[in-house]
Amino acid sequence: MSLTAVLDYDSGNLHSAQKAFERMSREVGGGDVIVTSDPDVVARADRIVLPGDGAFPACKRALDAVPGLADAMREAVEVKGRPFLGICVGMQMLATRGHEYELTDGFGWIEGEITRIEPADDALKVPHMGWNDLVIDAPHPVLDGIATGDHAYFVHGWAMRVAKPEELLAHVDYAGNITAIVGRDNIVGTQFHPEKSQATGLRLIANFLTWAP
C-alpha cells in the first residue's frame, strides 16, 4: 500500500494538514498518511510532504536539527525520485536561498530567492494574508481540475522569485505578481496552504496523492 509521509519537525500546522491528506487519501485510494520525524519511515515513503510555518531560517534549522531527517528526505526526492510537496515555508525551502532575517541556504531544488513582499500599492498590507485568485502559468498533473480564478488561502510576508520561468506553475496578483506554485520533475510546492484552501486545496492534495511523475 502507498505511504505518504508528512514531515514533523515542529514547524508546521500538522493537524489540519494530516486531516486533509487523510480525507483525500480515503477518497482517491491514496494509501496511508503518516506524520513522522523518523528517517526510516521517510526513506520507505512513496510520497513526501514538507509543511512549514514561521520564518525561513527557523524552519531550516529545525529540519536540520532532527537527526537524519533532511538526509532521508533528500535521498528519497533526489535519488529515488519520490513525489514531493512543499507547503508555505516548506515550498520556500526549495529555493536556492532565503533572505529573511539572515541569508539561509535552501535545498536548491528550484532555482530562486526568497525575498520580502513589497506591493506596489502601499494600501496593501504585508503579510499577504487571506484568499487570493490563482493565475495558472503552466499545466501540471497536480493542477488537474484547478483553473485561473480558483481561490487559495495565503499567510506569508516573503515570497519566491523564481529564476526559471518554466518552473513557475501559478502566481497571484497582490499589486504585483507573487509566486503561488512551483514545480519541476518530481517536485512541487505551494506558497498557499492547500489544507486551508477548501475545494481548490483538496483537489490539489488529491492530485498529488495519485501523481506518478
- Find cell 534549522 and name the residue: 61
Query: What pLDDT was estimated at residue 119?
Result: 94
Q: Is 71 helix (H, G, I), strand (E, B) or coil?
A: helix
Angle at alpha carbon of residue 99, lines to 93 and 102, rounded to 5°: 105
Cell numbers linked to 11: 514547524
Query: What pLDDT was estimated at residue 138?
Result: 98
Q: For the chain, which residues make up each domain, given as ranges?
A: 3-209
Query: What pLDDT was estimated at residue 13?
Result: 72
Residue 12 has pLDDT above 80, yes or no: no
User: What CA–CA distance (Å, rounded) separates 155 from 132?
Assistant: 11
- The torsion angles phi and psi of 23, rounded to 5 degrees, stand at -60, -50
**Residues 55-114: tens digit of each pLDDT:** 999 999 999 999 999 999 999 999 999 999 999 999 999 999 999 999 999 999 999 999
Q: What does pTM read for this prediction?
A: 0.97
Cell numbers linked to 153: 488561502
Q: Name beta bridge partners: 159.
A: 115
**Residues 115-152: tens digit of each pLDDT:** 999 999 988 999 999 999 999 999 999 999 999 999 99
Query: What pLDDT was estimated at residue 122?
Result: 87
**Residues 35-56: tens digit of each pLDDT:** 999 999 999 999 999 999 999 9
User: What CA–CA distance (Å, rounded) separates 45 from 8?
Assistant: 14
Query: What pLDDT was estimated at residue 155?
Result: 96
Per the residue annotation, which of 128, 140, 171, 193 is the catalytic one?
193
Mean pLDDT in residue range 12-20: 88
Query: What pLDDT was estimated at residue 11?
Result: 82
Distance (Å) of CA 44 to CA 41, 70, 80, 130: 5, 14, 10, 36
User: What CA–CA distance (Å, rounded) separates 83 from 125?
Assistant: 34
Q: Of the given ranges (5-19, 97-111, 184-198), which has the lowest mean pLDDT?
A: 5-19
Fold classified for 3-209:
Rossmann fold (3.40.50)
User: What CA–CA distance (Å, rounded) separates 160 from 55?
Assistant: 13
- Closest to 191 measured CA to CA, from 117, 104, 82: 117
Per the residue annotation, which of 88, 100, 113, 128 is the catalytic one?
88
Distance (Å) of CA 154 to CA 40, 41, 44, 180: 32, 30, 31, 9
Residue 4 has pLDDT above 80, yes or no: yes
Does 193 qualify as catalytic in the annotation?
A: yes
User: What CA–CA distance (Å, rounded) separates 52 from 12?
Assistant: 4
User: What CA–CA distance (Å, rounded) separates 11 from 59?
Assistant: 6
Residue 1 has pLDDT above 90, yes or no: no
One-letter amino acid for residue 55 of the chain: A
